[in-house]
Copies of this chain bind each other. A is one copy, B any other.
């Protein structure tokens, strides 16, 4: 009974969320901003990927970030790179919603941004169900989490446009069958761009940077 009530209300909210997401998307498109919704487990490497990406690309494009979190620590790390960044304090909520992005967008000068990175809450389940209006959903999995994650968190992997397998430097010290992992992903999603990387060593990140460059150029064209 309680369960039924919950589902009905969530469907209603998700539908309203999709309308706000569409408005976010239109607003970002009008300003020519390429945007990503970055999702991962806690500790998967979202902030590390953002820091690596900003360091590599801030000389050639104008970046900005939104961080869905309960503390300022990641915001400060990203701001130290000299790009605009805003905290969306989720107050412990398990995912970002489109209205949170709608509320934060006016704090940015969108006309002077080429790429907006939205760092979602560390969670491999809930964020998958909530459109934010970003152009691409980017999911990070990481080697220490194990090679079975696509099988256990299918919604997240099914919805990804891009999948980064982070911490590949740990492949030397951990049993992780990359082919088993990839088969799990391919069973859900034939259309995902796949980048094995290490945000610690930098390995593999050039291919990710090239993908970002291509997306930003396409948005401007």
Q: Which residues of A contact B (CB under 8 A)?
A: 2-3, 5-6, 9-10, 12-13, 16-17, 41-43, 69-71, 73, 92-94, 97, 99, 121-126, 142, 144-146, 148-149, 151-155, 167, 170, 173
The answer to whether A13 and B6 have CB atoms under 8 Å apart is yes
The answer to whether B2 and A94 have CB atoms under 8 Å apart is no
Q: How many copies of the polypeptide does the oligomer hold?
A: 2
Would you mind naming 18 contact pairs between A and B with Cβ atoms under 8 Å apart?
Answer: A2-B12, A2-B16, A5-B9, A5-B12, A5-B13, A6-B13, A41-B41, A41-B122, A41-B145, A42-B145, A42-B149, A42-B152, A73-B151, A92-B125, A93-B125, A94-B94, A122-B152, A125-B126
The answer to whether B71 and A152 have CB atoms under 8 Å apart is yes
The answer to whether A152 and B16 have CB atoms under 8 Å apart is no
The answer to whether B122 and A122 have CB atoms under 8 Å apart is no
A126–B92 Cα gap in the complex (Å)?
9
